[in-house]
Amino acid sequence: MHFDAQLLVICLLTAAINLIGTLAYAARIAGVRTRRIAMSFALFNILVLVSRTSNGFLGPFLAKRIETQLSAGGGEALLGDFRLVLLSASLAVALGVLLVPTGQRLFARAIGYFQHTRSTGRMLLRTASPAGLRTIRQAFALPRTDQLRELARPRGVGWGVLLANCIAQALITVGVLASLYAGYLNPEYRVTASQLSAVVNGFATILLFALIDPQLSVMTDDVVEGRVSEPLFRRTIVWISLSRLAGTFLAQALLLPGAAAVAWIANYV
């Protein structure tokens, strides 16, 4: 591993992507609290779109690093670099889980502000204003001890859903990295291997939208109709976030076998 400015930028971008993706779940809690479900879903979708679209920008940065390392004869350091990138994702998700209470307060205020102004541009500009920064400071809160103890109570979703989310998040986290590292393992089909990341990420995205999002959507309706309590819904969101964190750790284990599999598949595409 050779840590430099380029690797720092990649790690920071990875951390930002995963932090945004984790905090997006807090928008659903804010929607339940404000009873602005449609607006909270729109905000959630914006954040998820930003997170998943930004993930595509990692590809060129990582590809450039591979080319640079290979031209300098330092390809053996790439595995350590990629593991550090995955570690930055795990740290960002862990931070996002801790900031869920802060996120739900901020999103609740953002929903209220948008309801008043009806302008996404004004809402974004307010975020960078002194008043917006003061709001962020006032909204800062960490999970309380009693909230942590409540995690032992019913989760609201089954282990199967949490496992599916863990696997999907692991594939999304490792997809680009494994495909690019596969290009290093199989340089003859380097371009083919790198393009296979779209297949991996596409499968993971379908898994998320087919299994995870419907569960949360139905549960959101149940909260609004009074069939499910808000504390249970908050615990569900935290458990979903924790399964995402577990997915980033699983991504570490999938990096090498995933890269080897992609390198092998590239020979037969």
Residues 50-84 have pLDDT tens digits of 776 766 677 788 878 777 777 776 667 788 888 99
Closest-CA residue to 204 (of 234, 244, 241):
244
Mean residue pLDDT of the chain comes to 81
The boundaries of the domain holding residue 186 are: 5-266
CB-neighbour burial class of residue 197 (10 A; exposed 0-12, middle 13-18, buried 19+):
buried
- Of the two residues 260 and 135, the one the predictor is more confident about is 260
| pLDDT over threshold 90, residue 252 | yes
| pLDDT at residue 43, rounded to an integer | 73
Mean pLDDT across the stretch 218-239? Answer: 82
For the chain, how many structural domains are there in total?
1
Q: Are 102 and 140 in contact (CB under 8 A)?
A: yes
Question: Cβ distance 242 to 97 under 8 Å?
Answer: yes
Choose from 88-92, 110-114, 229-233 the range with maximum mean pLDDT: 88-92
Q: What pLDDT sits at residue 152?
A: 65
Mean pLDDT of 199-225: 80
SS3 147: helix
Output the pLDDT for position 56.
67
Task: Report which of 21, 77, 13, 10 is spatially closest to residue 45, judged by C-alpha positions.
Answer: 21
Tell me which of 72 and 148 has the higher pLDDT: 72
Q: Which residues of 94-116 are buried (b: 16+ CB within 10 A; e: fewer)?
A: bebbebbbbbbbbbbbbbebbee
pLDDT tier for residue 248 given thresholds of 50, 70 and 90: very high
Q: Write the pLDDT tens digit of every residue in 34-45.
A: 777 777 777 777
109 phi, psi to nearest 5 deg: -70, -35
Question: Can you tell me the distance from the alpha carbon of 258 to that of 177, in angstroms, rounded to the nearest whole number?
Answer: 9
Phi, psi of 199, deg, nearest 5:
-70, -45
Contact 13, 58 (CB under 8 A): yes
Cα separation, 63 vs 71, in Å, equals 12
CB 97 within 8 A of CB 245: yes
Average pLDDT over residues 90-112: 85
Query: For residue 210, what is the DSSP state?
Result: I
Listed ranges 18-32, 121-135, 165-179, 182-196; the one with the highest mean pLDDT: 165-179
